[in-house]
Amino acid sequence: MKLFKETPLKTKIAIVTGGTRGIGLGIADKLASLGAKVIVAAIHEEKIKHTFIHCDVSDMGNVKAMVVEVLNKFKKIDILVNNAGIYPPISFAEMQEEHWDKIISVNLKGTFNCTKAVADSMMQQNYGKIINISSIAGLVGYLGLTHYSATKAGINGFTRGLALELAPFGINVNAIAPGGIDTHGTKETLQGPVKDAFIQAVPLKRLGTPKDIAELAAFLATDASSYITGQTIVCDGGYTLI
């Protein structure tokens, strides 16, 4: 079943960070299928059908240059999906300051950098959709992911505060908290009996797919969600219900 029968994003310009694979690419493809012009901003370039701009989201100078390039070419930015993130498991006992700083700079500061860079443009046009990709790790704890969980919990709080500040400008700010999603990164960290046990703990008895997250992101990117802001929407097959 398709959520939309037409192309509600036909005139929209969307930036998806980290959109060359996994959840990000799924979102980029979905937004494009609804008519949006999609710009993927990422470090690693892959063979994708969308406009690609090299961008390190942890570097504000890099981000500003990317946003200027988009505005110069397309004149506006309607949608920002803050998807870029890293996921390096390490126990707290082994964790060093550089491990902490790296994940904070990409996952949390990167979300701030990109949002800060597009906010003025969205405020001037009195319209915008900002979608932050969080995680259920920001809601529950996991071994080896204290730093990752901290960034995702931070994104949830950032989403709520920012939604209040940008609401007067007609800008919706929401977050999606995926559960276990079948991506390249998950395949590296979730294998064998551990994967089987995880799936058994999911009420729907499967991992999610990038498409599952993309469909939700599409809803939040359209005016069908115009009265929703400041929310972190969990998409995890029911995992956090138990």
Is the backbone of residue 25 left (phi > 0), alpha (psi -120 to 50) or beta? Answer: alpha
User: What Å distances lie between residue 194 and 190, 201, 240, CA to CA?
Assistant: 6, 11, 17
- The domain total for the chain is 1
In this structure, is residue 123 part of a structural domain? Answer: yes
In this structure, is residue 114 part of a structural domain? Answer: yes
Split at pLDDT 50, 70, 90, the class of 66 is: very high
Dihedral angle sign, alpha carbons of residues 20, 69, 12, 78: positive
CB of 175 closer than 8 Å to CB of 156: yes
Split at pLDDT 50, 70, 90, the class of 88 is: very high
Q: What tokens does 180 get?
A: 């276990």
Split at pLDDT 50, 70, 90, the class of 190 is: confident
CA distance 17 to 79: 11
Q: What tokens does 141 get?
A: 């704890």
Q: Residue 177: helix, strand or coil by DSSP?
A: strand
Split at pLDDT 50, 70, 90, the class of 3 is: low
Quick: pLDDT tens for 28-58.
999 999 999 999 999 998 889 999 999 999 9
Return the percentage of the chain with pLDDT > 90, whole number.
Answer: 91
In this structure, is residue 240 part of a structural domain? Answer: no
In this structure, is residue 2 part of a structural domain? Answer: no
State the catalytic residues: 148
Q: What domain range includes position 113?
A: 13-235
In this structure, is residue 1 part of a structural domain? Answer: no
In this structure, is residue 122 part of a structural domain? Answer: yes
In this structure, is residue 5 part of a structural domain? Answer: no
- The CATH number of residue 148's host domain is 3.40.50.720
pLDDT at 106: 98
In this structure, is residue 113 part of a structural domain? Answer: yes
